[in-house]
Amino acid sequence: MTSTAPLTTPDPGWPAGPTVTPFDPHAATPAQRLAVGQLLADAFAYTYPDDPALLPETEAVGLTHQLPTERTVHYAVWDGARALAWGSLSYDLEQNTHMAHLRLTVHPTARRQGLGRAVLSQLLAHADKLGRGTLTFGTSSRSPAGEAFAAALGAQPALPMRQSRLDLTTLDRDLVTHWQARPDADPFRLHLWQRVPDDYLTRVADMMMVMNTAPRGDLEQQDWTITPDMIRSWEAMIEEANETRFMMAVEDTRTGQLDAYSEVFWMPERAALVYQGATAVRPSARGQGLGKWVKAAMLDHVLHACPGARWVQTNNANENAPMLGINVALGFAPYSSFTEWQLKLR
């Protein structure tokens, strides 16, 4: 969340401020979507000046992305054809129906003018109308104003995370090789996919729900059910965004069950930075080196399949000691902190 001046309470009686209008990415013109994409790219460049720049065109495409059971409402503040502020409220129609997720961005040149508060007021009113009383949003320590804004709202820092980066030029190749060594007659088999094969789709959905065992801190979030349709929707959105997703999965050949997985995301236009997504091992299969194996194999693959890659970035909950231990051993070093906040509406 990129913020403006601090706010003490989400009071619907705030004085009139900037004009906030609903924004429908599906009905908007390409120029309007691109204007919001440019806002998101400019705000990212301001917060992460040393990172590969976001592409406004890609951000514009992402505004229309949602799962079949998801809905998102958007609001924006405009200066002619230029978007000065934007926010969204996303929620699922079937799962965690008490919750919604907020995003809020104000252009770096338009901050401390009340634009963020004005957009947030509309988002909170919409959440209240929907009966979504628990809201979540994220902030980075790279944007201290966002953290101050969240605290002033009265939000709870429900899940603090460490954001880490691995410099691939310093990767311990011997360790990576060692972690990929498997015993003779090993019953486990490693798969690599960009698109999940049809005959594995149901098994991948079941495997991905292992992430329900990951630490949640104080987030009042129920388990998520992953479906094959959701996976196909994610794959379509990744493809439309011109992004590459590599998934590695470990299969127990005795049962056909998938017991571990890891995934990364990469774009040739932002080649230097690879984003590490989820890595999980089924609780019943832990203690057999599967997490180390799949992480090491993925890094090996990144070195060969992502030309120009220099860094791998990942987030870990501070309380997730086992995964943090694996990442630290691989050379991931602290880069910043990321906090998932929880805001309870009156």
The answer for 80, left when phi > 0, alpha when psi is -120 to 50, beta otherwise, is left
Same topology between domain 21-154 and domain 163-337: yes
pLDDT for position 18 = 83
Phi/psi of residue 149, each to 5°? Answer: -60, -45
Is domain 21-154 annotated with CATH 3.40.630.30?
yes
Q: Residues 266-311: pLDDT tens digits?
A: 999 999 999 999 999 999 999 999 999 999 999 999 999 999 999 9
Q: Residues 79-115: pLDDT tens digits?
A: 999 999 999 999 999 999 999 999 999 999 999 999 9
- Say if strands 99-106 and 134-140 run parallel, antiparallel, or are unpaired: parallel
Of 93, 88, 92, 115, nearest to 104 by C-alpha is 88
Helix H or strand E segment including 330: helix 321-330
Q: In terms of DSSP H, where are the helices of 18-162?
A: 30-47, 56-62, 115-130, 144-153
Report the C-alpha gap between 94 and 173 in whole angstroms. 45
Q: Residues 254-265: pLDDT tens digits?
A: 999 999 999 999
Report the C-alpha gap between 111 and 148 in whole angstroms. 14
Report the C-alpha gap between 275 and 267 in whole angstroms. 10
- Which stretches of the chain score pLDDT less than 50? 2-16
Report the C-alpha gap between 313 and 296 in whole angstroms. 15
pLDDT for position 17 = 58
pLDDT for position 292 = 97
| Cβ count near 187 (within 10 Å) | 12
Of 112, 103, 104, nearest to 85 by C-alpha is 104
Report the C-alpha gap between 267 and 169 in whole angstroms. 19
Residue 306 corresponds to which tokens in the numbers above?
A: 């992502």
Report the C-alpha gap between 256 and 276 in whole angstroms. 26
pLDDT for position 1 = 61
Report the C-alpha gap between 305 and 274 in whole angstroms. 11
Angle between helices 321-330 and 290-305 (to 10 degrees): 40
Asked whether 333 and 165 are in contact (CB, 8 A), the reply is yes
Asked whether 239 and 58 are in contact (CB, 8 A), the reply is no
Is domain 163-337 annotated with CATH 3.30.565.10?
no
Average pLDDT, the chain: 94
pLDDT for position 189 = 98
Handedness of CA 312, 318, 323, 327 (dihedral sign): positive
Parse the chain into domains and list their residue ranges. Answer: 21-154, 163-337
pLDDT for position 8 = 31
First-to-last alpha carbon distance for the chain, in angstroms, is 21
